[in-house]
Amino acid sequence: MIPVKIQCGCGQRYAFEIEPVGGRMSSSVACPVCGADGTSAANEAIAFTLSVQLSQPRSSREMVMLLAVLGCLVAGLAGVVKALNMTGGFDVLLCLLGAIGAFGLALCVYFWRR
């Protein structure tokens, strides 16, 4: 159910809750004072409410951030492990730099979202 508030042309305000069907009113609605049809206004209100809800998927966005941080940490750890298994000097240095970069990216993402 989403709340719908309508300001009628006659100045009357009325509100109700509706379970939208396909993002629209499932039945028509009329102003309780003058009887003017408020269905199209209600459809606009529903579309607005739904778009606001869609643009703020707060929990899923935090989930993506968490996954990004975890991914960077895993990449950093993989770089360290790879560096430890190497014998050469320059490759180890490159791997460690990559690992440090991955850790830094993870920290940046983590603090940036706060």
Residues that bind Zn ion (CB under 5 A): 8, 10, 12, 31, 33-34, 36
Q: How far is the CB of 44 from Zn ion (least distance, A)?
A: 16
Between residues 8 and 95, which has the closer beta carbon with respect to Zn ion?
Answer: 8
Q: How far is the CB of 28 from Zn ion (least distance, A)?
A: 14
Q: How far is the CB of 38 from Zn ion (least distance, A)?
A: 8
Report how far residue 81's alpha carbon sits from residue 85's, in angstroms, rounded to the nearest whole number.
6
∠43-48-52 over CA atoms, to 5°?
A: 150
Between residues 41 and 46, which has the closer beta carbon with respect to Zn ion?
Answer: 41
Between residues 44 and 91, which has the closer beta carbon with respect to Zn ion?
Answer: 44
**Residues 65/47, Cβ–Cβ less than 8 Å:** no
**Residues 69/110, Cβ–Cβ less than 8 Å:** yes
Q: How many CB atoms within 10 Å of residue 53? A: 10
